Every structure is written in C-alpha cells, then in structure tokens.
Amino acid sequence: MEKEEKKLIEAALFISSRAMSLEEFRTLTGIGALGYLQTVMDELVKDYEGRAIEIVEMDGKYSMRVRNDYLQRVKQFAQDIEISKAALRTLAYISKNDGILKSTLVKKIGPKIYADVHELVEAGFVKTHKAGRTSKLTLTEKFKKYFVQEKQPEVKDESQTMLPSETQQ
C-alpha cells in the first residue's frame, strides 16, 4: 500500500503548479497518521536525491522542481507560466487600469492583492515602480504578448455589399 501512496503523492506533485501541504496529501491518500505520512514524504524526497528533479519542502509545503544545476540548460523547454485564478482576476483589473497604484487596488479588491501582485511580478506580467509610499503597477511586454490580440481586419457583411436587385431574390 505504501508504494501506491507514494506514487499518488508523486503524481500530485508532478501535476500541481503549486506547493502542497501534508494535509492535502492526507486527504489524497487517506493516510490518517501524520507521522506515517511524514515518513512516506521523507522516503519520497530521498528517492529523488541525485536526480535532475527534486522534491523540496518550504514552510510545510512540498513541490517538485528541476534542480538548480540543470535549470539553466533546460528552462527553454518550460511550458507557459500558470497563474492562480485570484491573480488572474487581479491582472484583469490591472489591465483595465494600467498604471494603477497598489494602494488603490487594495481599496478596490482588498489586501489579498499583495500575494496576487507578487505572483504577477514573478510571472513577468506586471512591473512595480515606487510611487511615494506605494507602488505603481504597469503591464509588461510579456503581458501584451500573452493577452493582447492584434486587431483582425474587419470582415464586411455581405448583405451590405449586395446590389438591391440581389437582395430581393
């Protein structure tokens, strides 16, 4: 059974775009004892020692990533960056109000935007510029490349280009 649980945790770490907690692994595997679950996690971390991929624990959460030794050589193969739904909502608001002050955004959306803005800056979609005691948030070229579509040429409605005699047929 332990082997199956490790495989399930490994699959979850691989597919997840965020760090996962022991509590999430407990729910996933059905393992009730946190001590036993911690042992399973320690074994899984050890299984990855010496590989190009590692499982790291930070602040009680685990994630799977490429070891730093290999990252520079393989990063061009990485998929597009995924961002959380909350950060995406914040990004939508910033895109409608490019150049908005972070303090204004906090008043409109709430203090949760601090984490969202950090995520967006890390992803390269937003830049922050000091503006007094707050920051001005602006969109980057990367944002424009991902989200802004160039205008498509307008397609004329054929009914407007028909001669009056053609429309009465």
CB 125 within 8 A of CB 162: no
pLDDT digits (tens, 9 = 90+) for 11-65: 999 988 788 999 999 999 999 999 999 999 999 999 999 999 999 998 889 999 9
CB 133 within 8 A of CB 98: no
pTM over 0.75: no
C-alpha distances in Å from residue 26, one per residue of 13, 20, 35, 65: 13, 11, 11, 21
CA distance 14 to 150: 35
Domains of the chain plus CATH, in order, are 2-76 (1.10.10.10), 85-147 (1.10.10.10)
Dig out the tokens for 86 from the structure: 């909350």
